[in-house]
Structure 1
């Protein structure tokens, strides 16, 4: 079996990490493993030499999309790829077109939630031969909102390796340190770092009650830095991108997500593996991993910074972080490690080729 992973790019992010981990792992399980993505992302260098690499051309215009499709078709024919595993619906649709008349099958991985789209958008979306939903919410969306047959959808929960999280210790505040709240993600509208920032402002308005850090970079960085310069927040740092997510999590008490929409964020699973609780909006498939009141709290998607701040202050005062961490580690064990994820994905490949 020859499996080509297709994605937009290999910048630092959860989907990109899934692509790299899967392509790398598959070198030991299939005849050939490859990646097609736009050039320049830092995760390219993490691919082992056994993974075949193809740099994609821009597809921002109609002409670009046509050129992309023709190039992909040539790649499929020349190197005889028979499974195209696509990680964005834009590239998946082009892969479906490129594979016409070949024996290549398109497996489309749905990593996110989509709502309120036009009838035409729904009609052309998610047309892969088989669809992999990264959580129960995505699976339900594909069937109910997009009319895809349940038999074409397989739910495969994301997973991480426990070894990448490192040794699990107690949350820092349990040893007398000031509680530390961590945010991780791109500085984009989706991740809503402004809500994170304003939550910390609410908590520390009267006193330096917690430390907080946002790890990640993106187009909102300059505006956030300008805001912080005009209205500083004590105890808060904007540290930029990092490849030490496990270390950052172990140095913190809790992961706070403030996203407007999500699928099943990889960083959430990394927090569980590191033995840390999670406070997150009740969106996407977050509830596949977070049991509210057990290993964290799921709050209403439209919660204000003041409301989120009240949740975190209560957790500090009630000393919830230790029990949340213990329950997170147990939930991580139930979900399983990356090998489980890889094997379930390979099973989908075998189904689509049978």
Structure 2
């Protein structure tokens, strides 16, 4: 039995969802799984793991260069006799590896999954510091998992890790919640405060700097000039919410944009939508929300950054457009809003693509193979 500790620095965002699904899938006859993360009012809670029979340990907030999480991590390593520490994201990888150093030769094998390594939204000093720390800690890293080919290339441009230690394991999702969702669209829309008869464009994301709402909302004003019966639904929360609200007001879009905040009924929201959009200015690993939208049968319009082009096949399952280009984003949305047959066909092909390449089962198998390879299996 291989004892695995899954470590993530926040319950907000895709990293926590990723480990919830991964931990649920790992074969209980081969792996004993423990999850450690702070509970910071994110979209995954400790109770979500416990309900699935997965041991959960709450950590102190992992922020800045605080040393508070280190003692508990070391105790967990010893008490659980951890064989593999799987760190998700740069902050978890920093703390996890520093905590493991104290155990010397008895430390666990370390796996680091990159979720947005390029991080161009970080200030130059922070980005430079993180990359320097990564170079120092690289010798402690037994395997790196990149969630997209774009992530693998970005990591190897700045890090000295031997190529054979890095594995591309594409993100996967549990498709079951998005299959054959039965929803009363008028009721669902009414509950969200969305016009029942509008063409509904939905984005689901954390509201923070990498999300390019300037481009999205500017493009949306262009779309409305050509197609006035369109409404934008923004699902998610974050530090940029007030900024987004101010921009919606400035562009006179208040009646036409709904900010729904954090929601758990994502499958139902997607089932009530017509198009999914994700506008990003800087970098993406392999966004789970795009996979969820594709699994729901929605055509996707997204910025061509990071691994998005590995998810969305341009003109086949949706449209990828240059980042920070409102006219291009507006035109892509209009192409789908004015051609329902094209939009429906793209949505169907997108759903099939998820089933072929982005399932939780495939991601789980490939991750377990990395674990067993490190343990000599």
> Is contact 1:280-1:298 (8 Å) kept?
yes
**2:324 — aligned with what?**
302
- After superposition, the Cα gap between the structure-2 partners of 1:10 and 1:75, relative to the gap in structure 1 and judged at 3 Å, is same
User: Where in structure 2 are there 5+ consecutive unaligned residues?
Assistant: 186-195
Query: Deviation string for 1:3-42 (max 9, x for gaps)?
Result: 111111213x221111111223337354421111113435
> Which is worse superposed, 220-229 or 277-286?
220-229
**2:243 — aligned with what?**
223
**1:323 — aligned with what?**
345
- After superposition, the Cα gap between the structure-2 partners of 1:57 and 1:343, relative to the gap in structure 1 and judged at 3 Å, is same
> Which is worse superposed, 94-103 or 148-157?
94-103
Residues of 2 paired with 1:88 and 1:330: CA distance? 29
Residues of 2 paired with 1:136 and 1:160: CA distance? 18
Secondary structure of the structure 2 residue equivalent to 1:99: helix
Alignment size in residue pairs:
345
Residues of 1 paired with 2:151 and 2:250: CA distance? 40
**1:19 — aligned with what?**
19
> Is contact 1:105-1:352 (8 Å) kept?
yes
Residues of 2 paired with 1:241 and 1:146: CA distance? 36
**2:373 — aligned with what?**
351
Deviation at 1:230, TM superposition (A): 4.9
Give the TM-score normalised by structure 2. Answer: 0.84
Residues of 2 paired with 1:79 and 1:310: CA distance? 54
User: Where in structure 1 are there 5+ consecutive unaligned residues?
Assistant: none
**1:245 — aligned with what?**
266
Residues of 1 paired with 2:256 and 2:305: CA distance? 28
Give the TM-score normalised by structure 1. Answer: 0.89
- After superposition, the Cα gap between the structure-2 partners of 1:200 and 1:91, relative to the gap in structure 1 and judged at 3 Å, is same
List structure 1 runs of 4+ shifted beyond 4 angstroms: 115-120
Query: Deviation string for 1:283-330 (max 9, x for gaps)?
Result: 111111111011111111231x23311221122223321111111022
Verify: 1:332 aligned to 2:354, yes or no.
Answer: yes
> Is contact 1:3-1:30 (8 Å) kept?
no
Deviation at 1:268, TM superposition (A): 0.8
Alpha-carbon RMSD across the aligned residues, in angstroms, is: 2.4
**2:82 — aligned with what?**
81
**2:109 — aligned with what?**
105
Query: Deviation string for 1:184-227 (max 9, x for gaps)?
Result: 10111111233322222221146623122011111121232234
